Amino acid sequence: MTVRVLLVEDHTIVREGLKAMLALESDLQVVGEAPDGNAGVKLAKELHPDVVVMDLNLPGLNGVDATQAVVQACPSTRVLVLSMYGGPEHVRPAVRAGASGYLVKGTGVSELVSGIRAISRGEPWFSHGIAAVLLRDPDGGAGSLTPREREVLRYVAEGLSSAEIARSLDLSVKTVESHRSRIMTKLDVTNAAGLVREAIRLGLVSAE
């Protein structure tokens, strides 16, 4: 079974190098290339590749936002981040955006190929250093959520409005909005979709 791959990378020489290396693998096929985030999202919607290899430092739409857009528009497409940055300030936002794997540039070709194959099967794939970053703080800011904040997050993920949550918890709407604002800050998300993803990741609601 051939894994269809889309490359999103702004440096032409890197993109062409990746394409040439992947062409040596009989089960991998590069079906598209994009030099920026907006073009990458557009091509992903058109081609529905199995895997998008995504840089983070892209002109226009950055790699994190592009990852989120791809995951939302193409649920069956997996994103593998390939970036020169490996710090937690880059890794965690990418994972929260929906990336299924993360590799640092300089990684060997064999690991990149293995990563593409793994996430195409629905398995996460992180290079050793990146895995260590996630293990040091797997929940990001989630560990600092209070029991009340987790309760509010669960209701938000279930689709309740602030007024409905307020009635359910016997709180004022203003208090619920304050909880919601703090939750978003702690989890480093900016919208309701991000809150839903975090609630699923934390096991507060089902993905079904």
Model confidence pLDDT, tens digit, residues 13-70: 999 999 999 999 999 999 999 999 999 999 999 999 999 999 999 999 999 999 989 9
* d(C-alpha 202, C-alpha 204), whole Å: 6
Torsion on CA atoms 67, 70, 71, 76, rounded to nearest 10: -130
pLDDT of amino acid 143 = 56
Query: Average pLDDT, stretch 130-143?
Result: 62
Prediction pTM value = 0.68
For residue 205, pLDDT beyond 60: yes
**Extents of the domains making up the chain:** 3-136, 140-201
pLDDT of amino acid 22 = 96
Query: Average pLDDT, stretch 66-92?
Result: 90
For residue 140, pLDDT beyond 80: no
For residue 3, pLDDT beyond 90: yes
pLDDT of amino acid 96 = 79
Class at the top of the CATH hierarchy for domain 140-201: mainly alpha
DSSP per-residue codes, 174-194:
HHHHHHHHHHHHHHT--SHHH
Three-state secondary structure call for residue 82? strand
* d(C-alpha 203, C-alpha 197), whole Å: 10
For residue 173, pLDDT beyond 70: yes
Its sign, for the CA torsion 98, 127, 133, 204, is positive
* d(C-alpha 115, C-alpha 121), whole Å: 10
Burial class for 141, CB neighbours closer than 10 Å (0-12, 13-18, 19+):
middle
Does the domain at 3-136 match CATH 3.30.450.20? Answer given as no
